[in-house]
Structure 1
Amino acid sequence: MKKIVIVESPKKAKEIAHFLGKDFIVKATVGHFKDLPEDEMGVDLKNYEPKFVIKSPNHKKILAEIKKAAEDAEVYIATDPDREGYAIGYFMWEELKKKAKQIKRAEFHEITKDHVQEKIKNAEDFEKTNFGLFKAFLGRRVGDRIVGYILSPIASREIGGKFSVGRVQSPAVRLIVEREREIMNFKPTPYYVISAILEKNNTKFVAIYEKQKIEDKQQAEELYQDIKDEKTAKVEKIEKKQVKQSPKPPFTTSTLQQTANSIYRFPAERTMSLAQDLFESGLITYHRTDSTRISEKAINEIRKLIQKEFGDEYLPKSPRVYKSKNTQADAHEAIRITNFVNLEKQRQLVEEKGLSEDHFKLLKLIYERTLACQMADALFERTNVTLNIKNHTFKASGSVLKFKGFKAVYDFEEEEEETQNLPKLENGESIKIDTIKMEEKWTKPPPRYTEGSLVKKLEELGIGRPSTYATIIKTIKDRGYVVKEGSSLKPTQQAFDLIDYLNQKYGWVIDYNFTKKMEEFLDKVEENKKDWKEFVKELHQKSISKVKSAVSKKMLDYALDLAKKHGKDIDHILNDPEKIKEFIDNHADKKPSEKQVEYAKALSEKTGLRLTDKELSDKKALKKWIDKAKKEAMKNYQLSEKQKNVLIKYGREDLIEKPAEALKFIASKLKKFKK
């Protein structure tokens, strides 16, 4: 019997084919092959049934090939082990269940020979799998479509301009806007720090007055005047203690995105793209997870590697066990390496797979965290000294690393206070004072979010899930709600306008608690404890129970111009958006402008697409034709070096291979610059 394995990615298909041999044919769906239609809502609002369509002619062709191959075959659906992956698998199951002899489900958490063969061997009938995963996908996809399709046009009309509203993206925009307002409203206040620089045996160290921040300038001045000429400080108390520092747990999606952003400045989307390649090349475990669990087998291999590379003293007596807050998450593993070899050999593997230096950087990070999480504690000796200067108490502390432990492999990203080396001190001795100084400092506003700190905040608030953080950030950047300044996310005026509007009219969309509750509801759907249509119904009802719409200035001005042109009096309908819209529809010029016609003809020459009289005489039809022709023209468009440099400057290298999105982004920057 023929055996067919179905995955999403051609790269993963190629890798898996090596492991399974000639008895298996491995096919790729190339991502989601079905989705809601692009040009309509695609949801029946009476019963919430969605209309999923094949995404593109290419996907249609791929599906036909898979169907043909699956005739009377044993099919293994091995799409990714999360909701999105399961949904692709479910759609495929629906397409093949009448053709294939048998359909099974295999979940690959790593693309290694043993793992793939074991999962194929133990695959279960697709019908016995958890359909709750598909229902949770439906709830998210259909619910988000309804919110977006109902509220985005209303917001665009009422604010004036093009705005998009999203169940998860809008709360993320709110976070960034609120942080910016905190920064704008922040009033720095002064405070004073008095410190003494002391010296013994040619070693200088700093002691700070016990009240580290003095807010009263006069009090600070009086203290400084009292002690500024003192020449010695007396040691009153010395405390020494051993301090242990334990390693952090292995990476989850969220912590990987945060750390890669903090260390390499990788945007969340870039991290996920690199991790996807590493996973598909068999170098790391599945990268969409909120689990910190590592399998027993992997722990044994990690411990052997630590012993070989660092020695016995770096190995705790027993393995470290990390548990996730969400017990459901522990069905998966944390993100870890799959080849238990040293860093030099990890680099060789990256090169063999034809991957880039950025891939190696991310793999190195995962390698280091994988080892560190199973290594011994770092040991410090911390010394705290209390000193007396003219009956005023000053404190100095120092820390000495006694044993590196996990820091031998992973020594960054730790939030540690600055430490200093202290000379050997004894109780009661007098220490020479080099200088005493009083500094005026100012309180600082909170920092803007970076992509890493935004992911952390979204996770804290329960907004989104591991598979969606990168998409949320990409969406709010692409829609022009935030721009990157260095590594910080700064909201645009559009973001302020949107959040002010939603606050006033649709506060529930940006309510953090409501968004969290909705995510928890979807988790219950996944566990088959709640109905996905209940989720969608609540979002639908909230979207349509709206405050009376206002007429935007843009719409009003246009209507008044039309009224003047046609000699009509519209004073009686100025406050009714529906009637204003109806008036505009009835009186707006249906013919395209000369400029539009010229542009369309130029596009026709460039692309070879035919222009008919119908399009040339109907404004709406011509606009549709132009949109189609622009997409066609984009297929062969090459960005100039200057355009590429603009993308690099704003950290959007990911758009270099997407000319249409790139030009849109560059235009938004130029528009902002002109303002």
Structure 2
Amino acid sequence: MNIVIVESPAKAKTINKYLGSSYEVLASFGHVRDLPAKNGSVDPDSNFKMIWEVDPKANSRLNDIAKSLKGATRLILATDPDREGEAISWHVLEVLKEKRALKDHKIERVVFNAITKQAVTDAMKHPRQIDGALVDAYMARRALDYLVGFTLSPVLWRKLPGARSAGRVQSVALRLVCDRELEIEKFVPREYWSLVATLTTPRGEAFEARLVGADGKKIQRLDIGSGAEAEDFKKAIEAASFTVTTVEARPARRNPQAPFTTSTLQQEASRKLGFAPAHTMRIAQRLYEGIDIGGETTGLITYMRTDGVQIDNSAITQARKVIGEDYGNAYVPDAPRQYQAKAKNAQEAHEAIRPTDLSRRPAEMRRRLDTDQARLYELIWIRTIASQMESAELERTTVDITAKAGARVLELRATGQVIKFDGFLALYQEGRDDDGDDEESRRLPAMSEGEALKRKDLTVAQHFTEPPPRFSEASLVKRMEELGIGRPSTYASILQVLKDRGYVKLEKKRLYGEDKGRVVIAFLENFFARYVEYDFTADLEEQLDRISNNEISWQQVLKDFWRDFIGAVDDIKDLRVTQVLDVLDEMLGPHIYPPRTDGGDVRQCPTCGTGKLNLKAGKFGAFVGCSNYPECRYTRPLAADGEASADRVLGKDPETGLDVTVKAGRFGPYIQLGEQKDYAEGEKPKRAGIP
């Protein structure tokens, strides 16, 4: 008997059918051991010795595996084909050794990129041993995450009451969100104006042209800064005669995007389907592990944690066949398309995400899948097919127009684009995170040099520059990938942790940095700046890749990291909480104290009028309070612009004639009768909590 170990029962059930009665496939249900969540699980003084603990839920499963080995001759470890999969196989093997369940068993490691009968049976013919370098890289990553979490979190608790925790990669992702918030708060809008004329050809065809120059000078987007300047140009255009100066038509090609990696799948599923990255990965996992198709369970897509963009030659051949059948030979390029990963630190050991059989068209699969599975399968199928289709052939046209008004010469420009051959655009166009005004997509009428034009209309519009947009989940994953932060297996979980801890919130598909998260990041940027630097985190990822390539020792990477990190922790151990709060108060000023509409002092206490507002810490986190405490008990949350943070008068108390006000305190909203000034010295205003 051959015992095969995989992660999930769904995968086990599918593979058992493929391999037959001489194999028994058992599931480990994911990781079976981890570092216990307590001090001492990683010991830097003993060459980073790790103490592993078996998950209580995994005990019975491991006992079942050990029992099944009694009548077997071979143990085949068939967990996922990546660093985490290698680690699970290693953990299972180590536990079985401790249980002395292995005698003369032959131990083999097999990997497959898809759960289909052919892929699994082929993998069984090419076994190998556990890759020690991949396991080392896993251990280094796990130790780094543990050391940062268990060393930094207590520092946070002591110096920043109410803070929850800090993680190695999640803190850097949080910094991206919070730095964007600060950019938005500091942003000063700039006024600018645009002038767009609607012109007609002698044949009566209308099109739009934008003012781009005047009196020999170019006019850029922000150059017209006032209504008076715009009015001046408007009068000139209204009095002008228009002539076509040049017509330039240039051919252009647009090539299809590469097939999906984990990152691009999460981005596109977010844009096109509205899926959160974690939801995308759950559905992809199901499609990978297998769906019942006509009585046989088979995996519908290849492994979904990958940063490779190439696909197997047999899949390329099949894609070209499908394109020819569905769209005609004009849509099949002369040579198959080959792709190379652009992402920083990309490891290209795995294929891109693609359907295991491209002849399974989305329309036919719809009745076999639930709604979300069908939508994600269709997205993956379309992207894969489009990646092997012919390029789109375009013609981009630029028309320059001279407008003469007396002694003044103005220049206008119209741009447009015509699709001569749609190619892959017949099937697919990648989504965008931020919709912009795409003038080039307009089609222009035929014109020739020297032709006179007439003005039909003129639009003079006032605009203001806008701050950079907040990240969507898709654009944050994209930015993390560009910076080399995280890995395909971690993008979704990083975002989930930030949301679960209340560090960010998702609103209208945009990520907002919450006060809790803002304070933590401000603390880290001031006192542990190096460890939330993008380059530092990406360099560490690169070191982990080098470990997995057997180029450097995992203990050496940990030694280098720990020496500097523990030094930074020691440097701030004597800092008082008040010193920390003063630094954060300064850094978060634009967020905590936005400009007042009356132009007054942003830090003046609205209750007593003489005290200054500053950052304070309570056991539930940071809040803003008055410097005249305890005489003045004014408090509010950090954000000063939310409705919840503003005092609201409900009415007057009929007995005393005092205002009854809803106030926001650090423990939540409450009702107060009158203000401090309405009471005798030493007497506190009457208050009641709102349940």
TM-score normalised by structure 1 residue count: 0.78
Deviation at 1:344, TM superposition (A): 4.0
Is 1:517 aligned to residue 542 of structure 2?
no
Contact 2:324 2:331 in 1 (8 A): yes
Distance of 2:320 and 2:60 partners within structure 1:
48
Matched residue, 1:184: 185
Deviation at 1:229, TM superposition (A): 3.6
Is 1:278 aligned to residue 287 of structure 2?
yes
Spell out, residue by residue over 1:296-352, the C-alpha distance to the aligned partner (whole angstroms, 9 max, x if none). 11111111111111110000011001122479733211111111225345525xx43
Distance of 1:373 and 1:100 partners within structure 2:
49
Matched residue, 1:253: 262
Matched residue, 1:225: 235
Matched residue, 1:589: none
Is 1:116 aligned to residue 138 of structure 2?
no
Residues 554 and 53 of structure 1, relative CA distance in 2, 3 Å threshold: farther
Contact 1:147 1:540 in 2 (8 A): no
Deviation at 1:123, TM superposition (A): 1.4
Contact 2:527 2:572 in 1 (8 A): no
Is 1:148 aligned to residue 162 of structure 2?
no
> SS in structure 2 opposite 1:114?
helix
> SS in structure 1 opposite 2:198?
strand
Spell out, residue by residue over 1:215-245, the C-alpha distance to the aligned partner (whole angstroms, 9 max, x if none). 3424433222222244x42111111122211
Contact 1:160 1:554 in 2 (8 A): no
> SS in structure 2 opposite 1:331?
coil
Deviation at 1:541, TM superposition (A): 2.9
Matched residue, 2:252: 243
Matched residue, 1:548: 572
Matched residue, 1:623: none
Matched residue, 1:69: 68
Distance of 2:533 and 2:161 partners within structure 1:
23
Residues 400 and 456 of structure 1, relative CA distance in 2, 3 Å threshold: same
Task: Note the residue ranges of structure 1 that are not aligned, 5 or more in a row.
Answer: 557-669
> SS in structure 2 opposite 1:292?
coil
Distance of 2:269 and 2:307 partners within structure 1:
16
> SS in structure 1 opposite 2:471?
coil
Is 1:435 aligned to residue 457 of structure 2?
yes
Distance of 2:37 and 2:73 partners within structure 1:
34
Deviation at 1:519, TM superposition (A): 0.8
Deviation at 1:551, TM superposition (A): 4.2
| Matched ranges for 1:25-40 at <5 A | 25-40=24-39
Contact 2:386 2:427 in 1 (8 A): yes
Matched residue, 1:372: 386
Q: 1:360 aligns with which of 362, 367, 374?
A: 374
> SS in structure 1 opposite 2:250?
strand
Residues 672 and 253 of structure 1, relative CA distance in 2, 3 Å threshold: farther
Matched residue, 2:399: 385
Matched residue, 2:514: 492
Q: 1:397 aligns with which of 386, 394, 415?
A: 415
Q: 1:209 aligns with which of 202, 208, 211?
A: 211
Matched residue, 2:325: 308
Matched residue, 1:10: 9
| Matched ranges for 1:342-357 at <5 A | 342-344=360-362, 347-348=365-366, 351-352=367-368, 355-357=369-371
Distance of 2:265 and 2:501 partners within structure 1:
25
Distance of 2:10 and 2:412 partners within structure 1:
63
Contact 2:172 2:532 in 1 (8 A): yes
Spell out, residue by residue over 1:245-264, the C-alpha distance to the aligned partner (whole angstroms, 9 max, x if none). 10011111111111111112
Residues 671 and 62 of structure 1, relative CA distance in 2, 3 Å threshold: farther
Deviation at 1:41, TM superposition (A): 4.5
CA RMSD of superposed structures (Å)? 2.3
Contact 2:163 2:520 in 1 (8 A): no
Deviation at 1:671, TM superposition (A): 7.3
Contact 1:320 1:373 in 2 (8 A): yes
Contact 2:345 2:541 in 1 (8 A): no
Matched residue, 2:559: 537
Distance of 1:492 and 1:671 partners within structure 2:
16
Distance of 1:239 and 1:271 partners within structure 2:
45
Deviation at 1:205, TM superposition (A): 1.1
Matched residue, 1:81: 81
Name the amino acid aligned to 1:493.
D
Is 1:195 aligned to residue 204 of structure 2?
no
Matched residue, 2:354: 336
State, as a whole percentage, how many aligned pairs show the same letter: 38
Contact 2:197 2:458 in 1 (8 A): yes
Matched residue, 1:454: 476
Is 1:51 aligned to residue 39 of structure 2?
no
| Matched ranges for 1:120-135 at <5 A | 120-124=124-128, 126=129, 129-135=130-136
Deviation at 1:265, TM superposition (A): 2.1
Spell out, residue by residue over 1:427-453, the C-alpha distance to the aligned partner (whole angstroms, 9 max, x if none). 211122101232111111000011111
Matched residue, 2:628: none
Deviation at 1:539, TM superposition (A): 3.4
Matched residue, 1:572: none
Distance of 1:23 and 1:458 partners within structure 2:
46
Contact 1:380 1:399 in 2 (8 A): yes
Contact 1:254 1:456 in 2 (8 A): yes
Distance of 1:99 and 1:539 partners within structure 2:
40
Deviation at 1:135, TM superposition (A): 0.5
Name the amino acid aligned to 2:65.
I
Distance of 1:364 and 1:82 partners within structure 2:
25
Distance of 1:28 and 1:306 partners within structure 2:
39
Distance of 1:209 and 1:385 partners within structure 2:
12
Task: Note the residue ranges of structure 2 that are not aligned, 5 or more in a row.
Answer: 213-218, 291-298, 582-665, 671-689
Is 1:319 aligned to residue 336 of structure 2?
yes
Distance of 1:277 and 1:344 partners within structure 2:
16
> SS in structure 2 opposite 1:318?
coil
Residues 436 and 328 of structure 1, relative CA distance in 2, 3 Å threshold: closer
Distance of 1:470 and 1:266 partners within structure 2:
11
Is 1:463 aligned to residue 485 of structure 2?
yes
Name the amino acid aligned to 1:109.
N
Deviation at 1:548, TM superposition (A): 3.5
Contact 2:194 2:224 in 1 (8 A): no
Distance of 2:396 and 2:486 partners within structure 1:
41
Contact 1:309 1:342 in 2 (8 A): no
Name the amino acid aligned to 1:386.
D
> SS in structure 1 opposite 2:183?
helix
Residues 408 and 335 of structure 1, relative CA distance in 2, 3 Å threshold: same
Deviation at 1:138, TM superposition (A): 0.4
Matched residue, 2:21: 22
Spell out, residue by residue over 1:266-307, the C-alpha distance to the aligned partner (whole angstroms, 9 max, x if none). 111111111111111111111111111111111111111111
Contact 1:153 1:163 in 2 (8 A): no
Distance of 2:362 and 2:509 partners within structure 1:
30
Contact 2:242 2:402 in 1 (8 A): yes
Distance of 1:198 and 1:531 partners within structure 2:
69
Spell out, residue by residue over 1:329-376, the C-alpha distance to the aligned partner (whole angstroms, 9 max, x if none). 33211111111225345525xx43xx4211111111110110000000
Deviation at 1:100, TM superposition (A): 5.7
Name the amino acid aligned to 2:323.
I
Name the amino acid aligned to 1:295.
D
Residues 672 and 476 of structure 1, relative CA distance in 2, 3 Å threshold: farther
Is 1:292 aligned to residue 314 of structure 2?
no
Distance of 1:423 and 1:13 partners within structure 2:
62
> SS in structure 1 opposite 2:310?
coil
Contact 2:86 2:131 in 1 (8 A): no
Contact 1:293 1:321 in 2 (8 A): yes
Contact 1:75 1:103 in 2 (8 A): yes
